[in-house]
Amino acid sequence: MNSSKSILSETEAISQAVANLPKTNPFTLSQEYFELFSINLLRTIQQFQQKSLSTPENYFSTFPSKVLGKIKQENSTAELEDLSPMLARMQKQNPFYVPENYFATFNATPKKEQAIIRSVFSYKRIIRYAAAACITGLLIISYTYNQHNTTSPLAALQRNSASDLSLESIIGYLDEVDDVKDDNESDTPITAENNLLVDINQETIRQVLQEIPENDIKQFIDQTGSTEFKTLN
């Protein structure tokens, strides 16, 4: 009753017109409907269950043989006639010779052969696989090592040994190196000791000095205080 009142007041709050409408049921229905409904329903359920569950007697026990019979019947002769009418007309006689009383004296018991026991787990197989793995590993390692060595500059230099290079090419290379050094303004002074390719002797120095004016030499000596060059000339 409380819920009816609350629902009515809720509806009134939304729409007075709707709340005022009569709640009478306009639909018609026979009086016996509900009395008979449960009985009719159970009958329907029982019929449904019987239909879905019933099968003829011995259905499953005879089913395989019936199916096989049908398969054999179907088309075996008709198929042969389609493929080769001549073969279909030929008599099905067995031409092979069988000794007399063969089937009567046939011993059906099989020989007791012992099955070969093969081990699933085989040491030989494992050893073979291990050896193959080791060899493969060694090959990979040596290949990788070789590759590393052949790509280094030192290896390249060793490959191209000095006997393959001419003197002109070495001098030309050194000239290029000198040019690069000049460009880069090397910090290390070029001295006689580290300029190994220049043959320095007294005669060469004398020739160089003769080209330089005496006054310049004197000036140089006075500045450096060196007595070395006084004995040259």
Partner 1 sequence: MNPQHSEDEELVARFKEPKTKESAFTSIVKKYQERIYWQIRRLVINHEDANDVMQNVFIKAWNGLDNFRAESQLFTWLYRIAVNESLSYLDQQKKRSNISIDDSGLHLEEKLHSEKDFDSNKAVWKLQLAIQQLPEKQRIVFNLRYFEEMGYEEMSKILETSVGALKASYHHAVKKIEDYILNH
The interface region with partner 1, picked from 7-15, 65-73, 84-92, 220-228 by CB under 8 A, is 7-15
41 belongs to the binding site for partner 1 (CB under 8 A): yes
Interface pick for partner 1 out of 9, 44, 77, 160 (rule CB under 8 A): 44
* Residue of 204, 203, 233, 205 lying closest to 218 (CA atoms): 233
Collect all residues with Cβ–Cβ distance below 8 Å to 77 and sequence separation of at least 6: 88
Candidates 37-45, 164-172, 210-218, 221-229: pick the segment binding partner 1 (CB under 8 A).
37-45
Closer to partner 1 by CB, 35 or 203: give it: 35
Would you count residue 42 as binding partner 1 (CB under 8 A)?
A: yes
53 binds partner 1 (CB under 8 A): no
Binding flag, residue 38, partner 1 (CB under 8 A): yes
Nearer Cβ to partner 1 (18/198) = 18
When the beta carbons of 40 and 144 are compared against partner 1, the nearer one is: 40
Q: How far apart are CA 76 and CA 92, in angstroms?
A: 14
**Three-state helix/strand/coil letters over 133-202:** HHHHHHHHHHHHHHHHHHHCHHHHHHHCCHHHCCHHHHHHHHHHHHHHHHHHCCCCCCCCCCCCCCCCCH
Q: Does 14 bind partner 1 (CB under 8 A)?
A: yes
How far the first Cα of the chain sits from its last, in Å, is: 142
User: Hey, is 128 helix, strand or coil?
Assistant: helix
- The only residue of 11, 80, 178, 217 in contact with partner 1, by rule CB under 8 A: 11
Q: Locate tokens 């729409």: which residue?
A: 15
What's the closest the beta carbon of residue 53 comes to partner 1, in angstroms? 14
Question: Which of 21, 19, 23 is CA-nearest to residue 10?
Answer: 19
For partner 1, which is the closer residue by CB, 41 or 141? 41
Cα–Cα distance, 8 to 15 (Å, whole number): 10
- Tell me the closest approach of the beta carbon of residue 33 to partner 1, in angstroms: 8
Please say which residue, 27 or 97, places its beta carbon nearer to partner 1. 27
Q: For 218, phi and psi rounded to 5 degrees?
A: -60, -45
Binding site for partner 1 (CB under 8 A): 3-4, 7, 10-11, 14-15, 17-18, 21-29, 34, 37-39, 41-42, 44-45, 48
